[in-house]
Amino acid sequence: MRQLKNKLILISIIIFIASLFFTAFKVIEPKEIKVFSSAELLLLGPISFVGGSVLEFFIWTANFWLLISIVCVYSKKFFISIVTGIIALSISGSFTFWKEVLVSESGRMGKIYSLEAGYFLWLASILFITFSSIYLKINKKIKAKNFTNINRNGL
């Protein structure tokens, strides 16, 4: 189980890192389509509220919940990992319903043109760790139940 847990964590981290090499989304600007890379958003997200983008910062916090979920899987706190994974998934998934995003500190909004591979890989890393947590929690319960049955039967 330990090796499986570590492999599942590693896969989620690899998917997350892969997302950083792709475009997250594109926004329609007055004269062009502006591209937002996932790495740029990861680095600028923590300070985005300074420029007035409180809702955008809220979406970025899904990274924080993802990190907590990964740490909880590593420490075998699967229930907490499931909860934090669902929070991260809810926050990150809510971005699909956005029509506009803040594109400048002046308060100018840009219409979201398209969600790109970076966003979907980010979402996939969150989905993967959440479902991995659920799987590991179920697997842990089954093993505990089997162990209890073996002890009762005196085997």
Q: What is the pLDDT of residues 65-99, one digit of tens each?
A: 999 999 999 999 999 999 999 999 999 999 999 99
* pLDDT tens profile 95-149: 999 999 988 777 788 999 999 999 999 999 999 999 999 999 999 888 777 766 6
pLDDT of residue 143: 78
- Percent of the chain predicted with pLDDT > 90: 70
pTM of the model: 0.88
Question: How far apart, in Å, are the Cα atoms of 51 and each of 56, 99, 100?
Answer: 10, 20, 16
Helix ranges (DSSP H) in 23-109: 38-44, 54-60, 62-74, 78-94
